[in-house]
Chain A
Amino acid sequence: MHPRILARSTAVGLFGVSLTLAGWPAHAQTTPVAPPATAPASSAQEAPPAAQAPAPATAPAPVEPAEPIGEPAAPEPQTPAETPVAPEPLAPTTQSQDAGPSVQPTPSQPVPPSEQQPETLPAAPSTEAGSAPDQPGDAQDAGPAQAPASDAAPADTNARAPQPQRAVGADWPFWGGGAQATRYSPLEQITPENVSQLEKAWTYRTGDMPTEATQNKYSPEGTPLKIGDTLYICSAMNIMTAVDAATGQERWRHDPKVPAEAIPYGATCRGVAYYEIPDAAPDQPCAARVIEATLDARLIAVDARNGQLCQDFGDNGTVDLWTGIGEKVPGWYAVTAPPVIVRGIAVTGAQVKDGQAEDAPSGVIRGFDAVTGELAWAWDLGNPDITGLPPEGETYTRGTPNMWTTATGDEELGLVYLPMGNSSVDYWGGNRSEAENEWSTSVVALDVTTGKPRWRFQTVRQDVWDYDLGSQVSLIDLPREGGTIPALLLPSKQGDLYLLNRETGESLVPMEEIQTPEGGVEEGTYAPTQPASGYHTLRKEDLTEADMWGVTPLDQLFCRIAFRKSAYKGIYTHPTSDQFWIQYPGYNGGSDWGSVAVDPERGIIVANYNDVPNHNRLIPREDIDERGIKPIYEQNEGSEGGSNAEGSGDPQVGAPYGINVNAGWRAPFTGIPCKQPPLGGIRAIDLATGETLWDQPLGTARRNGPFGIPSFLPLTIGTPNNGGSVVTKGGLIFIAAATDNLIRAIDVNTGEVVWSDVLPAGGQANPIVYEQDGREYLVIQAGGHHFMETPVGDYYIAYALPRA
């Protein structure tokens, strides 16, 4: 062969083969230290207001926490429903409303009766539920801690009686599908047999594309709701639109005009919430409303019929979430997740931009009356005495752990499950208050009627790795002798899956303890052990030098040397400053905001995950100053705010070190990951036993390659991924998420990809499935993701089978 040609093909061979992983999303949030604050008493457990009604049939089953679930999964958690009792309203409500099931279709959009499947959610809150487990017993190793003593008088709240919730099926009424947030659809028109015939039904474009000021900051991550015959959508910059579910035609739009500087680290709006006033007259304005929380920290309610601001909500339809937070620094405090509405209370946290300073906006969780926008309660973990607005001249406790991801509501128990993040300074724990340490990186069950916590379950002690809880929890009713146990499934960034009793927070599965290694700049103060799940983990074996990768032996050698020079003693290797340390899994998971899907009928958990290390180093304060790395409140306007990967040079003001994160640990120059693929996968897990049913790499190499050049290789390699899946009764999993810009269908029984299509932009979003006029639709946003380095777009694309 001609040498020159050979040389050229060499180059192609060398460079064609690999991939560049784009980074993954970095959504870890956190909040910095707070004043010591009155630490929640660790033992007490007083039932919060015992105002609740009759106990549900399902006993709270104390159960040895170490018992694996031995039975097949609950048949249909969607309708646990043995107890459709309407309990007494627990608290005096401001607005009268009877508990009668009144699921109203969006008034203006008449819905054929067949489409309404008001879900009879068991309406009986449990009496007992108020108490946390009284014995730490298992709790101490499990991580769940006691409910804080909050004997404060049951706050007067606007919480109402439980209402029947819309069912998932024809509709996709909640961000996570049904109220249980299982991302399961009972539709079965599309099956593994006919999925190959899927075709584009419509394409809708929001028109929200980056401007010069917002270039490289878009990561919309949007998931629509579908109610009646309408999709409710928010764009990256929070433009809300309503779209015809059958045609993709826009019906109305509301643009809240969010300024560019409000973007924290990415322009993201994961979704909106929908609320119907139970006793509203059908023609009442805003009887059904769409509520979103924005990047510039506003809660906005518009009429679901026409997109007009709800005049009865807050100040002409808007509530300013900056109230009580402190000095307004755009981009520092932003909401990217939809609020969750439980018993008429819209609950929201916020993303506090990571790594800026200990003295950061509070992680306070607030509940607002979904009708009036009035503050119903506030939960300030640093100062439990503040239950409403902070006193004049004060703020909610600064720097406390926040919740940036999506919570899950439990209408029946009157709880909201909050996956909390870490304090704002993620990688230094020395200045954290006791309260921060107690609540950080925990799932917290908050009573929406009072705003008081019932229980918590901590997944990392003294988190110095940015292992925020990023995934929404799913509610599952697990069969046990004599009934079912109300459980929740909690995935973590470390990849652990926990099953907890959602009334008590006790683990329903065996817990394990991981001995943490020695070393780290704060040696001696770290937690000696960390909790882990004995049920299932998505985490892989520790890395070895041989797992280092590259395109050629040379860059592989580079990574092997870096591996040997870094501190690494497995998971929970503590942060170092004199050398790099390897954090594996990195802060993108395991499981991140896309969360997992659960097919309750088959008893299968579907979890996609990242399998990627981060390469980190604490940077001494002087070096941070020398490099001119400034916190967000000292940056000039228009400076590079949210464009970099999270943690790639953050000041951590107030700590002795800043932080530098090489997310995904990519080699310089080539941009190739130092760890060999797969860098992401998807797995099916037996809900009953926690056993892996199948496990496949997720994503092809087609869009990845060295120096950012696509390789066009249609081979499955397993890329980093961001976004969740949907699982259907028809036997399919739909997921995009990977960096290959494909939407695909996977046979839930085998893990085989049975269909895929190329999206016009990155598919870093959770898809939805619904039915309209007898046709099953799959809808995915193709919005791209700056951190995942996928092309940005403003598309929503619907797929369906050809009309018969």
Chain B
Amino acid sequence: MSSVQARSVTRKRGFGYRAVVALGIVLILFGLPIFGGGAYLILLGGSWYYLFAGAGLLLTAFALFRGSLSAVSIYLLTYLGTVIWAFWEKGFDWWAQVPRLVAPTVILILLIACMPVLSRLSRPRRRR
């Protein structure tokens, strides 16, 4: 059924859908190097955060491409982990939090903005 759904979604070339896909692409563009770089950083003996964060971004992106509302919950989980990690690592040093929290928060806002579209897309197609 999901493939059916996906197909039906692709047919919807509305603005909302294109925005969702664009956001997904942005998340892939960030998520892939963060995931790969994060794995490398672990090899170098560094932080494990980026591997997980990268995975979260990629999974969110896939959910977005599927037009699934689960993108929001996956990302919320990633974001929550990010906040906890960021404060654990740097506390209330706000300049230090800029790279840790600003972009992820912007993405959170964008995702929330996409929620109406996502919920429409992921609604089982009964009518019409």
- Total count of chain B residues near the partner, CB < 8 A: 36
Q: A10-B106, A14-B103, A17-B102 known; A553 and B44 CB under 8 Å?
A: no
Residues of B within 8 A of A549 (CB): 96, 98-99
B100 lies within 8 A of A10 (CB) = no
User: Is A561 within 8 A of B53, CB to CB?
Assistant: no
Distance A3 CA – B17 CA, assembled complex (angstroms): 11
Can you list 27 residue pairs at the A/B interface with Cβ under 8 Å?
Answer: A3-B19, A4-B19, A7-B19, A10-B106, A14-B102, A14-B106, A546-B47, A549-B98, A551-B102, A553-B30, A553-B34, A553-B50, A553-B99, A553-B103, A554-B30, A554-B33, A554-B34, A555-B99, A557-B50, A560-B47, A560-B50, A561-B41, A561-B44, A564-B41, A565-B44, A676-B95, A717-B95
A1 at the interface (CB under 8 A from B): yes
Residues of A within 8 A of B37 (CB): 554, 557-558, 561
Q: Are A553 and B100 in contact (CB under 8 A)?
A: yes
| Chain B residues whose CB sits within 8 angstroms of the CB of A563 once the complex forms | 46
By the criterion CB–CB under 8 Å, are A10 and B110 in contact?
yes
Cβ–Cβ contact A546 & B90, under 8 A: yes
Residues of chain B whose beta carbon lies under 8 Å from any beta carbon of chain A = 15-16, 19, 22-23, 30, 33-34, 37-38, 40-41, 44-47, 50, 53, 89-90, 93, 95-96, 98-100, 102-107, 109-110, 113-114
A18 contacts B98, CB within 8 Å? Answer: yes
State which of A6, A555, A717 has its C-beta within 8 Å of the C-beta of B110.
A6
Interchain CA distance A10-B108 in the complex, whole Å: 11
Q: How many residues of A contact B (CB 8 A)?
A: 33
State which of B15, B30, B89, B98 has its C-beta within 8 Å of the C-beta of A546.
B89
Kindly provide the distance from the CB of B43 to the nearest chain A CB, expressed in whole angstroms: 9
Q: Tell me the residues in window 553-584 of chain A with beta carbons closer than 8 Å to chain B beta carbons.
A: 553-558, 560-561, 563-565
Q: Which residue of A lies closest to B82 (CB)?
A: A553
Residue of B nearest to A672 (CB): B99
**Quick check: B98 and A551 within 8 Å, CB to CB?**
yes
CA distance in complex: A557, B93 (Å): 18
Check A552/B113 contact, CB under 8 A, given A18-B98, A564-B45.
no
The 3 lowest CB-CB distance pairs between A and B, nearest first, are A3-B19, A564-B44, A556-B99
How many angstroms between the C-alpha atoms of A561 and B45 in the bound complex?
A: 10
**B97: nearest residue on chain A (CB-CB)?**
A676
Proximity string of chain A (626-661) to chain B, C-beta cutoff 8 Å, 1 when within and 0 when not: 000000000000000000000000000000000000
Contact call B53/A553, Cβ cutoff below 8 A: yes
Nearest A residue to B89, CB-CB: A546
Interface residues of A in 1-43 (CB under 8 A from B): 1, 3-4, 6-7, 9-10, 13-14, 17-18
A550 interfacial by beta-carbon distance below 8 Å: yes
Interface pair B110/A17, CB less than 8 Å apart: no
Q: Is A545 positioned at the interface, with any CB of B under 8 Å from its CB?
A: yes
Contact: A552 with B30, CB < 8 Å? yes
Minimum CB–CB distance for A481 against chain B, Å? 45
When the two chains form the complex, which single residue of A550, A556, A561 contacts B40, counting CB atoms closer than 8 Å?
A561
User: Within A529-561, which residues are at the interface with B (CB < 8 Å)?
Assistant: 545-547, 549-558, 560-561
Q: Are B106 and A13 in contact (CB under 8 A)?
A: yes
Contacts A10-B109, A551-B98 supplied; 6 other A-B pairs, CB < 8 Å: A18-B98, A546-B47, A551-B99, A551-B102, A554-B34, A554-B37
Q: Which residues of A contact B89 (CB under 8 A)?
A: 546
Q: What residues of B have a CB within 8 angstroms of the CB of A555 in the complex?
A: 99
Given contacts A1-B113, A3-B114, contact A545 B47 (CB under 8 A): yes
* Residues of chain B contacted by A676 (CB below 8 angstroms): 93, 95-96
Tell me the minimal C-beta distance from B20 to chain A in angstroms. 8
